[in-house]
Structure 1
């Protein structure tokens, strides 16, 4: 007998929009793209899969509907308050899983560009801050409003405080007010602000520039950037110098330098 039961739509859509460029779309618009445990798991798995895919150069992270992401699924979390431990185990597992997903984006060897067309709040704002680059619509806004409901945005704070100044981060965290796209640009939370109908075009434009470069070189650079950022100055220079030496020994560095000297386009081997 044929199974006619409806098939659940993917929570994260993956689409190759151009060679080397994959767009991921959060696909829970009715739930304001809240980061449920299932969404976190699916996004984590997809990012890791694309990170290992040699054909992928850049990932664009978008969202369906009017809200980019409202953050953690508070309805899902509240439902677990009736658990025997008051929800403690579920809360801990959720925060651990979400933190691991955010770290997977940072660890992914492919640059990830957030394409934000709507509101990004709490862990949704954390997601934007975690991505390597971000393009926002003029109508988008950002907030870490947990303090308003008695739940300080402590995990979003980790990504936020690593992207913008401490005073700006504390302003967002303590006031809990919405930040306009223009202010997000001035704070350093996003790279570019464009008309609402140009967000994906701008993200694709950035992705194409990156995709034209050596995947191996970009991966080396992304990993080194995040590692040195947490080091004292002397350690950072020692580490970055070693990275440069190893990078110089790669085939693509040899090809790229020769192409520059010979005034021709390089032919990348991605190694």
Structure 2
């Protein structure tokens, strides 16, 4: 299967949907799948037509994590394992650093690195049939890299419970602990995701980029440093053409004309 077949691309009014398309392999994050996803994310970063990225999957499994069959064939190769986890970590960071918001559309099961993929996205909408787990502990391989994204989205005790037990978490429980934003009936999933993506895509792309970047940067700072940093960000943002247009449009009671600058 080619990279283009592994991940299909659809564009609609500023929304680009990237669909993991190996349902026969449970959309596992093989080296080839990770590289294809990395390439797509790199392309989206520079794509002026894309304002929002939706990450979806075909079949009944969103993503089962790493390809254990591929790993079993390389059990004696530390270099392969290191390359695999480094590439996976790169992809997760590409999602966080992408200058466009990323929404996970989750139908089915997301486990291990698949759960990490959901946690790495800026937003996540799940069907009520979706389930989540970090089950590495069950096979003697603790989900250490998925832990990075998981622990930055849910509280420590909830993250530790998932990591230590390896048990499945329902979609509604995932919403309760902050792993996903919304849970909807499976028939309403596409409509809900599209409405959310379209709402975000209607904003200034320049402003979205500023806000997303600042959000993740300030999370790593102390309170005073974060306020100093974001004050500077807002002052700089205020000089942008879109900010000035937005303020004038609001006061004039008209729709803003974004220039994305």
Secondary structure of residue in 2 paired with 1:10? helix
Q: Please tell me whether the aligned partners of residues 118 and 137 of structure 1 are also in contact (alpha carbons under 8 angstroms).
A: yes
Alpha-carbon distance between aligned partners in 1 of 2:8 and 2:173, rounded to the nearest angstrom? 30
For 2:204, the equivalent position in structure 1 comes to: 214
Tell me, yes or no, if structure 1 residue 114 matches structure 2 residue 104: yes
Q: Please tell me whether the aligned partners of residues 95 and 102 of structure 2 are also in contact (alpha carbons under 8 angstroms).
A: yes
1:124 paired residue among 114, 134, 142: 114
Alpha-carbon distance between aligned partners in 1 of 2:53 and 2:201, rounded to the nearest angstrom? 10
Tell me, yes or no, if structure 1 residue 26 matches structure 2 residue 20: yes
For 1:263, the equivalent position in structure 2 comes to: 253
Alpha-carbon distance between aligned partners in 2 of 1:8 and 1:244, rounded to the nearest angstrom? 40
2:124 paired residue among 96, 120, 134: 134
Once the two structures are superposed, the pairs formed by residues 1-271 of structure 1 within 5 Å of their partners are 10-16=5-11, 18-81=12-75, 86-271=76-261
| 1:72–1:167 distance in 2 versus 1, CA, 3 Å | same
How many residues are paired up?
A: 261
Q: Please tell me whether the aligned partners of residues 127 and 184 of structure 2 are also in contact (alpha carbons under 8 angstroms).
A: yes
Secondary structure of residue in 1 paired with 2:180? coil
Q: Please tell me whether the aligned partners of residues 77 and 87 of structure 1 are also in contact (alpha carbons under 8 angstroms).
A: no
Q: Please tell me whether the aligned partners of residues 3 and 32 of structure 2 are also in contact (alpha carbons under 8 angstroms).
A: no
* CA RMSD, 1 decimal: 1.1
Q: Look at both structures and tell me which one has the larger radius of gyration over its CA atoms.
A: 1
Q: TM-score, structure 2 length as denominator?
A: 0.98
Query: Tell me, which stretches of 5 or more residues in structure 2 are unaligned?
Result: none
| 1:72–1:251 distance in 2 versus 1, CA, 3 Å | same
Query: Tell me, which stretches of 5 or more residues in structure 1 are unaligned?
Result: 1-5
Shift of 1:19: 1.2
Secondary structure of residue in 1 paired with 2:253? coil
| 1:31–1:234 distance in 2 versus 1, CA, 3 Å | same
Alpha-carbon distance between aligned partners in 2 of 1:9 and 1:227, rounded to the nearest angstrom? 33
Shift of 1:7: 6.9
Alpha-carbon distance between aligned partners in 2 of 1:201 and 1:119, rounded to the nearest angstrom? 20
Shift of 1:8: 7.8
For 1:3, the equivalent position in structure 2 comes to: none
Moved more, 7-16 or 65-74: 7-16
